[in-house]
Structure 1
Amino acid sequence: MKKMKIYYTSDVHGYLYPTDYLSDDVQAMGLMQAIDAFDKDDNTLVIDGGDIFQGSPFINYYQNQKRSDNGIAKVMNAGGYDVITLGNHDFNYGFSFLKENLAQLNAKVTAVNVLDEAGKQLFPAQIKTLANGLKIGLIGAVTDYVNIWEKPENISDIQIMPVFPAMKQELERLKSQVDFVIGIYHGGFESDLETGERLSETGENVGYELLESLDFDLLLTGHQHATIEGRYVHGTYTLQPPNMARKYFDITVAFDQDLKPKITSELKTPGTTQSAELKAELDGLQAEVNTYLDRPIVHLDQAVAAQSHLDLAQTSNAILALTAHVQRQATGADISIVSMNNNTLFLPNDVKVRDILRNYPFDNTLFHVKLTGAQLRQNIEKTAEYFALENQQLVINPKWLIPKTEHYNYDFYYGLTYTIDVSKPVGSRVTKVSYQGKTLLDDQVLTVALNNYRAVGGGEYNTYKQAEVIQDTGLTIQDLMITYLEKTGQLAVDEPLDFNINY
């Protein structure tokens, strides 16, 4: 009997140390801690599912400076990574800089739907031969929604093709050459794995289609930050770890005499210790980031208290008002659209840089666009889907929590007066929209300030794809918030918002 072991991480997002940077607490998380438990031999593969070069305050700090000496390669090389695929966020700082980061990795990269301008694969499938003679095929792909979300200049010299046909073609080519085929898909599931019920109509995630229609032996997934324990679905074993290296998978594949595989897996939690040698190499980088994060910004006479997401969605707060204000101030827009995020929003009296990044964790840039009244109403209808009624009580729609928590897709429309009636059917919940005291007409055009993710239709706000772009300012919203607080020494802003959630 032959065996192989696989260690799998995904969506690490640059979290190397045992901290989320929101506090000084040491937590059981981070890639340095995960790899400390890896027990690798010549029959072991270590694999990552993408989104490694963006996300944490640590990695964003160095990526924004275009510094590839950011510690990622050192940790992955120390962990013995053999193969990785790319995530959608790995393109956020431009493809040429991504290549600079990748060049330092010992691991091979497979992303078979990423092509050059001439249509040639840049990151082909891989075959790894283990010490026991097993030949393992590895086929990676990244969600093709990169084409929707990413700045055009960041992917102007490459093509990102649809996932399913690219992986299908490579699987058909590779299957006869190897004993076992692994799909590494930076994407998740569009359908419920238990029932097959369709959860999303977009093409962002096609994991269920891959399971249903192709015959991978093992499909490793990511992107949704969901915790999906290993299981067989349509004959393929699949799983997904959460983000930030809070968990990793230890997978065992045992082959019988006919080389028929039996797969088992265990979802493991990293400890809080790491290699002393590796830590010593990276502590200078970590200290530099912490110095930046601990820089004082402003003292507030009154702290901003935390609220549940459901409460906040019905009230907004001073942090969201500040976000709306700096966006409108920088663009001169008529209205400003801001979103919640998955973190709990609050500010202490003494505000540091890390407090702003907790409340606005995305390094989004600011867009200025034109929208009609009809388009704005459609967008508010999309926001209204966040709510549901359960025993006549207002709750968060489960579809916004499973398979991925998406509080960040709930928007506030500063500058408008609007009413949402949750008792009405989805699609007809917006009962009132007005601007400056007058009903907003369908053909009335307003200028809108919002982040780049929403401006390109992120979160299935498809109306924005038809909006006329006045300007991509290139300004990061985090920096705008920090600068405003440093200059004014206050949080209070006069930013109009008048909305009601009825049910």
Structure 2
Amino acid sequence: MNTEKTVTITLLETSDIHGHFYPTDYRGPGDKPLGMAKLASLIHRERRKDPALLLLDNGDLLQGTPLMYHYAKYDQTGIHPAASLLNLLRYDAAIIGNHEFNYGLELLERTVADTNCPYLCANVVRASDRQPVFGQPYRMFVMQEDIRVAVLGVTTHYIPNWEEPANIEGLAFEDALASTRRWIAHIRETERPDAIVVCYHGGFERDPATGDTTEPLTGENQGYEMATKLEGVDVLLTGHQHRMLAGELQGVAYVQPGSAGQAIAKVQLQFEKSPNGGWALVGKTAELLEAAQAEADEEILALFADKEAKTQEWLDQPIGWAEGDLSIPDPFAARQRDHAFTEFVNRVQMEGTGAAVSCAAIFTNEARGFSGRITMRDVISNYIYPNTLKVVLLSGQDIRDALEQHARYFTLDEATRSLQVSAEYLQPKPQHFNYDMWEGIEYELDISKPIGSRVTKLLRNGVPLHPDETCEVVMNSYRAGGGGNFFMLKDKPVIREIPTDMTEILADFILKRKVIHAACDHNWKVVF
């Protein structure tokens, strides 16, 4: 809409695409309601309505699918697919997400250099001189009728708690809230914008509707504070949590468009000519446009067809055979007592590192384990993250505390006396990856007991594990950094690190042996 005295500016935001360019989840055939090819059709539709709209990506674009993994680990020819995508769709700016660092700084920096639009990130700085690493903190866009819109990019500063140190060497991560406050003041003073948009790769630590705390206030997500405590924010584009959100909070329009290309966020700002000749922001709307509404864009499909074909061929290569049952027909049941698949993963971790104790998770409810012929698709589908391994020195008390944290995954429905997944592990997004199962110790979790006293059995080699006894435990790099609110594991002595991705470790183990055998020593269980 554009009248003599009223102008509407449109913003579109993608976030947490995680390499989903095609409408597939790579686990099997079938057109899925996700992916950038479908969102591209929505972008083209919105551009026909408003050719001058702003198109922004909010991060976590470079990691998350076999297409991205295959490019990073085996291909790297030509420019990065993420850069090709941003260039083809004529993005106006992109933000750095936490998963952008997963494959190392060299690949990330090359991708940034090959992307036509600027990367905006105010709070990831060089440790040496505190200057922004990825270009500029913000960008001023002069829109129709000379309306000035500032877009500030910030990233969750919690990244050092998860990322491999080698992948962020020389970088410092300033508090996202404090950095946003400082840069907004600078923009207001020096740029005189008509609107300020904060594009934040982070989410909400509180429910936007009620203000109730939805997660531990670690600083990982600061969206609620940004909307309620910072003066001058007009729009808050968020991500990281994979939630589907659109609304207004204390005058700030906010959105979050899910993950994997489920949706694209659309915000419209209405401006009226003010008496002094400038523009006044008088209205805001926020909504989500879902991929299910669209057909896949043929140009996107064609652009990546060769790399997708190579990825699919690689995924379907047989690498071994499972003898016995390592399948996971019911992930919830598999999390209640020792299972052959998790035992296999833990045994691979222990054999590869020499650690006496191991912990591992069934990351999603879509994981199905192994059955018969094993392909790379099976490995990638079950182990979806590019984690490496760390062996850390833990005390018996550390292990007990970690198990108590794991026990929070479950809750007991008193009315039906049935076991269920705790709401905190389902909202604001599923966090099945934050529940580990252990090998090398014997334990029981009794969910009928109060939180904090559910570990009713904890033995090592058949005798009670003393709180002061120490042992080497192997776990993924995310958990070793305290990820998932495992603060008792953070900053523990690291005995050794294995810099190879766990997916490669699993694949190499299977390739070497050709046949893997299902085994289960039933060393743990959940009771209620």
TM over 0.5, shorter chain: yes
Select the residue among 137, 150, 162 that pairs with 1:137: 150
1:354 aligns with 2:373: no
1:205 aligns with 2:221: yes
Aligned to 1:27: 32
Amino acid at match of 1:270: A
Aligned to 2:237: 220
1:94 aligns with 2:94: no
Q: Is the 8 A contact 1:253 1:263 kept in 2?
A: yes
Select the residue among 403, 419, 425 that pairs with 1:380: 403
1:358-386 Cα distance to aligned partner (Å, 9 max, x none): 11111111111211111100100110111
Q: CA deviation at 1:231?
A: 0.8
Q: CA deviation at 1:357?
A: 0.8
Q: CA deviation at 1:273?
A: 4.1
What is the CA–CA distance in structure 1 between the aligned matches of 2:88 and 2:491, rounded to whole Å? 46
Q: For residues 302 and 500 of structure 1, do their structure 2 counterparts lie closer, same or farther at Cα, with a shift above 3 Å needed?
A: closer
What is the CA–CA distance in structure 1 between the aligned matches of 2:378 and 2:505, rounded to whole Å? 14
Amino acid at match of 1:190: E
Aligned to 1:64: 73
Q: Is the 8 A contact 1:247 1:268 kept in 2?
A: yes
Q: For residues 393 and 279 of structure 1, do their structure 2 counterparts lie closer, same or farther at Cα, with a shift above 3 Å needed?
A: closer
Q: Report the secondary structure of 1:3's partner residue.
A: strand
Amino acid at match of 2:312: N
Q: CA deviation at 1:299?
A: 3.5
Aligned to 1:185: 200
What is the CA–CA distance in structure 1 between the aligned matches of 2:252 and 2:106, rounded to whole Å? 35
Select the residue among 121, 130, 135 that pairs with 2:132: 121
Q: For residues 190 and 308 of structure 1, do their structure 2 counterparts lie closer, same or farther at Cα, with a shift above 3 Å needed?
A: farther
The 5-angstrom pairing of residues 7-406 of structure 1 reads 7-38=12-43, 39-40=46-47, 41-65=50-74, 67=76, 69-116=79-126, 117-122=128-133, 123-176=136-189, 177-199=192-214, 200-215=216-231, 216-228=233-245, 230-258=246-274, 259-270=280-291, 273-300=295-322, 302=324, 304-346=326-368, 347-391=370-414, 392-406=417-431
Q: Report the secondary structure of 1:266's partner residue.
A: strand
Deviation larger for 454-463 or 271-280: 271-280
What is the CA–CA distance in structure 1 between the aligned matches of 2:402 and 2:273, rounded to whole Å? 58
Amino acid at match of 2:12: Y
1:367-419 Cα distance to aligned partner (Å, 9 max, x none): 11211111100100110111112223211110111112100000111111111
Q: Report the secondary structure of 1:256's partner residue.
A: strand
Residue-pair matches, total: 502
1:303-338 Cα distance to aligned partner (Å, 9 max, x none): 544344432210242221111111001111111111
Q: CA deviation at 1:257?
A: 3.6
1:326-360 Cα distance to aligned partner (Å, 9 max, x none): 10011111111111212422234332111111111
Amino acid at match of 2:31: V
What is the CA–CA distance in structure 2 between the aligned matches of 1:137 and 1:50, rounded to whole Å? 18
Q: Is the 8 A contact 2:79 2:114 kept in 1?
A: no
Q: Report the secondary structure of 2:237's partner residue.
A: strand
Q: Is the 8 A contact 1:319 1:345 kept in 2?
A: no
Deviation larger for 80-89 or 346-355: 346-355
Q: Is the 8 A contact 2:23 2:296 kept in 1?
A: no
Aligned to 2:468: 443
Q: For residues 437 and 414 of structure 1, do their structure 2 counterparts lie closer, same or farther at Cα, with a shift above 3 Å needed?
A: same
What is the CA–CA distance in structure 2 between the aligned matches of 1:352 and 1:304, rounded to whole Å? 14
Q: Report the secondary structure of 1:382's partner residue.
A: helix
Q: Is the 8 A contact 1:247 1:267 kept in 2?
A: yes
What is the CA–CA distance in structure 2 between the aligned matches of 1:171 and 1:31, rounded to whole Å? 31
Q: Report the secondary structure of 2:516's partner residue.
A: coil
Q: Is the 8 A contact 2:339 2:520 kept in 1?
A: no
Q: CA deviation at 1:9?
A: 0.6
Q: CA deviation at 1:487?
A: 2.7
TM, length-normalised to structure 1: 0.95
Amino acid at match of 1:120: Q
What is the CA–CA distance in structure 2 between the aligned matches of 1:460 and 1:491, rounded to whole Å? 34
Aligned to 1:477: 502
Name the % identity.
29
In angstroms, what is the RMSD of aligned CA positions? 1.8
What is the CA–CA distance in structure 2 between the aligned matches of 1:278 and 1:397, rounded to whole Å? 40
Deviation larger for 118-127 or 331-340: 118-127
Q: CA deviation at 1:500?
A: 2.5
Amino acid at match of 1:133: D
Q: For residues 368 and 194 of structure 1, do their structure 2 counterparts lie closer, same or farther at Cα, with a shift above 3 Å needed?
A: same
Q: For residues 278 and 401 of structure 1, do their structure 2 counterparts lie closer, same or farther at Cα, with a shift above 3 Å needed?
A: closer
Q: CA deviation at 1:467?
A: 1.8
Q: Report the secondary structure of 1:443's partner residue.
A: coil
Q: CA deviation at 1:64?
A: 2.3
Q: Which runs of 5 or more structure 1 residues have no equivalent in the other structure?
A: none
Q: Which runs of 5 or more structure 2 residues have no equivalent in the other structure?
A: 1-5, 275-279
What is the CA–CA distance in structure 2 between the aligned matches of 1:193 and 1:308, rounded to whole Å? 34
Deviation larger for 9-18 or 73-82: 73-82
What is the CA–CA distance in structure 1 between the aligned matches of 2:220 and 2:439, rounded to whole Å? 29
Q: Report the secondary structure of 1:141's partner residue.
A: strand
Q: Is the 8 A contact 2:102 2:386 kept in 1?
A: no
Q: Is the 8 A contact 1:52 1:90 kept in 2?
A: yes
Q: Is the 8 A contact 2:411 2:447 kept in 1?
A: yes
Q: Is the 8 A contact 1:253 1:264 kept in 2?
A: yes
What is the CA–CA distance in structure 1 between the aligned matches of 2:201 and 2:143, rounded to whole Å? 25
Deviation larger for 52-61 or 244-253: 244-253
Amino acid at match of 1:60: Y
Q: For residues 66 and 148 of structure 1, do their structure 2 counterparts lie closer, same or farther at Cα, with a shift above 3 Å needed?
A: farther
Aligned to 2:277: none
